[in-house]
Chain A
Amino acid sequence: MPLKKPAPHAPPPAEANAEMAQLAASFVEESRKLLEEAGEALLALERDPDDGQAMGALFRAVHSIKGAAGLFDLPALVHLVHAGEDLLGAMREGRLRMDSGAADALFEGLDHVGRWVELFAAQGSLPPELMETARRYAAIYRARLAGLEGAEGAPAPAAAAVRHAWADAAGLPEGAPLVTIEYTPDESCFFSGDDPLRIAQSLPGLVWSELAPREPWAAPEAFDPYVCNLVFRLVSEAPHSEVEAHFRYMPDAVTIGLRESEPAPDPEAPKAPTGPLSPLAVELIEAQRRALAEHPRGGAHVAATLRNVAAALGLPVPPEEPAAAIAALLATAPPASEPEPLAIAEGSATRSDTPAERTLRVEQAKIDTLMNLVGEMVVAKNALPFLARDAEARFGSRELAREIKDKYAVIDRITRQLQSAVMEVRMMPVGDLFKRFPRLVRDIARKQDKLVRLEIEGEATEADKNVIEALAEPLTHILRNSLDHGIESREARLAAGKPETACVRLAAAQEADRVVIDVTDDGRGVDPARVRAKAIERGLIDEARAAQLTDAQAVQLVFLPGFSTAETVSDLSGRGVGMDAVRSVVERLGGTVTLESRCGEGTHVRLELPLSMAVTRVLTIDLGGQAYGIPIDLVIETVKVDPADIRRLKSAEAIVLRDAVIPIARLRSLLGMEPHPAKLESVLILRLGHATIGLVIDDFGTCMDIILKPFAGILAHMSGFSGSAVLGDGRVLLVLNLKEML
């Protein structure tokens, strides 16, 4: 990723590389942000083409990307962005209107730029063939501009700004304005019947030509005569419009510039000295004449500039009156002595400190490491209660045991604070995730010719980065389902007496220690009859059972593995992942998903997730001498029940607790173990979804924080367990997935 030119007084290579890398990293990060802003602004413009603020924001974002990209060797990226900027410039000035076609083309272009930025981030350069893509989009943008110019007959402003450096060296006749053309035929142009040589030869008003290979010629064995590798530099005395017309079928292969004759020298201006005054210095001094013309009465800045230039060049202090100073500076012969060597100037000034950052940017990997360390600390800390028990039981020192427990309490508190501090750092607003959905909804809606308004609420709600990131796919899927299957066609909506534009609402909120995300649409809803039929057809449920289900229960069948309501496989719904995939992701995160639907009125999917997922608090239980963990947030209470109080209703069992009948299940039988009669049954009262259920176990253990590791490899599909954790004393705790079991 070399800069276009080596910087003057280049620092040692290592330092230069570090600076370069820093610059590149900054460019990548900034471009990502700008692309995001551009995308948002473009969406806003599509809704309201007259949104001047969005237009300004979009133009600035694209303009900034172009400006920054120019520092690197990224011709394709600059080419595309430049063309986009020209188009947006015309729109900003009101010469052209944003429409959905233009928005589509701009969106696609931005997507390409986004990919290229990532490619640049990964590889440090871009493959040259991307220029093809850049040209294609540039052509699309220019075509829109050209349409505009055709309509208004205005000259092409972008073309007029092109200046071909080679034209200066070509020794062209002075006087009449000439049109300079650089014609780089497309590599594959021979296949579309073009003969670039003939096109060049037949250029009207041709006065000068030069022909060269675009890239050095390949070795003879590798030479392909049918890949055009020529570039033509042409100069014409024909009018600009005529030249443009000549190349109208290949606007992308040519740049057309104007070589205006040199402006007549100001007769009053003293002749610039040809002495050692550098051209830049002369230019700078001349520029003050212009600056002064604009500020005849002010001019303090002109005088100051002239004084500084004089000082820099070692010339005597010029007169205070600016016009006189300009004349004096241009007239004064520079001093005979050599100017001060630059090295001295360098030494005199102190190096400035790098500008201070207000926020600290940290790589995610570092936070992850910190999080893992906190996790290990939690586990290590959990060893202390075992140590206290040993102190008492094996060494008979109750005092030591109490002291260990006291210390444990302190370490426990600090660990918790540390943990929440790190959690805090990891929190990010769901808005970061929601940002991508307006685009998704727009694209799908356009493909299906539906009108959809996406309302987003609660973007500021925060949750752990892992939770947010893991939600991207399920939410995408839910939204796609909603647009594919929920939202009706425009005709159907009108026929049903609904507004033509459908509404999809995406809302996030925090409830206690959980994030709740609601996705609501006003589409046709889920048809319980169709769901029943499909479930039976797929063999997921038998007819008798299906008939027993209420409609509300029936729609939940969509969460069963192997169920998909998609009538046709569209490219939109993705690879046949159904709602079961959504459910499994959400549940893996320790969350729940529910679906409510009113046929004809709409669907409401609710995701509830823990704010953070790194540490899980579990209640350990004992079963046949083995410890199991149950997520504490499922446990309402623990009770000891006389076996005689367990009522039998047919084959099911239940207890009555504070006048409520609670069905119970026995963990031993769920796990296929022998029953274990006890004098008092230990029952965990659990909340699973909206149901309350009692679970009979052998004995309760304690509460503890664990780092839950999902099973990997062949264990990954083991049902009934959500993962394992290593306890402080080295034992492995299996954490039950009761939702799956019951």
Chain B
Amino acid sequence: MLNKKGIFILSIVLFVFSLTGIAIAQDYEIVHVYKIAGIPFGNVEESGVVQAGEELNVNAYQVAPTEADPAQQVRMIEDLIAKGVDAICVTPNDPSALEPVLKKAQSKGIVVVTNESVGQKGADWDIETVDPKLWGAHSFEKFAGFMDGEGEFALFVGGLGVQFHNDWADAALAVQKEKYPNMKLVTSRIPCGESIELAFTRTNELMKAYPNLKGITGIGSLGPIGAAEALKAKNMAGEIIVVGSVMPEQSAPYLKAGLIQAGSMSDPKKLGYSMVYVAKLLLDGEEIKDGMPVPGLGNAKVDFEEKTIRLHGVLDITAENAETLGF
């Protein structure tokens, strides 16, 4: 039998409990460990992480090593485990090198979410906002459009050992084989997509080795920039079609000058947002369901065997929109 006083005390107790409940929710510490500090893609991704933190009422932030070094990431994650954070989101520099430390984090009850690392051991879920196969096919269709479906072309990747880039390139070439028999790849994929200087040099060499070269496409956001610089130096804007993955702001002057015809990129802000969003779901104890909506990224395709959540976030970049995208 409760009297008024009892009800009052109970409601205060409940109120305080509910406050602690909110306090706990706010105290979720969700940390994104990126590949390398300070590259623009990572910076915009960080803004998505922070935005999710504000909207979802969690303490979310990004850390990253000064070099794209797996050992440095391992050390950072060790520190985060020691600090006792609630969730760790990682974009691994080397999936296998991170496996032990991620398993250690899981054993301490920390939620682990990865990106760009399908089938990561030691992760609760992997999130992919860009499917390399869909993106590669999508990008090649654009490229083929500018090429009028015919002619010799070369393909850049960031590195020959980068799984994502190889899947992207495989998908692009599959589209070419199937739909554009009059297009011809002149040589095997060239690893220069992450360096303007290398892409510049390779483009000069390719133009000499293959005088009929009509286009260059690829993955790795500096490949098209380097190719465009080579064309600019030789006053050859538009004589070789350049279509590939680019950062919008950086490629804007090249798109406007007709040195690059079109580009695409995954949307880093949405990516950063989605990782924190999913980490928060998991911390709240909610179930991951196929087809569940993620704000701004459509409905998830969930692969329960590979523990992968696939969302769609490829952004087409043109001379018109390149300057408005914020990265």
Do A and B assemble together?
A: no
